[in-house]
Amino acid sequence: MAMLHTVNKSPFERSSLNSCLNKSKEGSSILLIEDAVVGALKGTKVADDLSAAIANKNVYVLGSDLNTRGFTEADILDGIKTVDYAGFVDLVAEHSNVQSWL
């Protein structure tokens, strides 16, 4: 079964999203939480990297963390799915393992 990767730091400040994108396998899932949710926004300098990831990985963002920072589903890249806390739990249960990029 595939791996679930979580990232919780802003990609504009830390390189953990970049490391995650480089080291996650095709078919794996990436969930952006906490400050990392801003990486999902449209038109940013990391948008191309994420768009490339969406092509062969599942990318998710935690909706409540997105709303907390003033953004909604309309503001994020096409192909990134929004999940709630229950969806977060489902993702953890559905994957063989979870790797947290801090």
Partner 1 sequence: MSDGIKKFMFVNTKAPYGTVYALESLEVVLISAAFDQSVSLVFCDDGVFQIANNQNTDGSGMKNFSPAYKALGDYDINKLYVEKESLEERGLSLDNLMDLTYEDEDDDWAEKPSIILVSRAELADLMDEQDVVISS
Residue 56-95 contact track with partner 1, rule CB under 8 A, x = bound: -------xxx-xxxxxx-----------x-----------
The number of CA neighbours under 13 Å toward the Cβ of 97 is 7
Establish if 41 lies at the interface with partner 1 (CB under 8 A): yes
Report the alpha-carbon distance of residue 37 to residue 87 in Å, rounded: 15
Question: Which position among 34, 51, 54, 81 is part of the footprint of partner 1 (CB under 8 A)?
Answer: 34
Distance in Å, CB of 85 to partner 1, minimum: 8
Establish if 53 lies at the interface with partner 1 (CB under 8 A): no
- Name the region of 84 (left: φ>0; alpha: ψ -120 to 50; beta: rest): beta
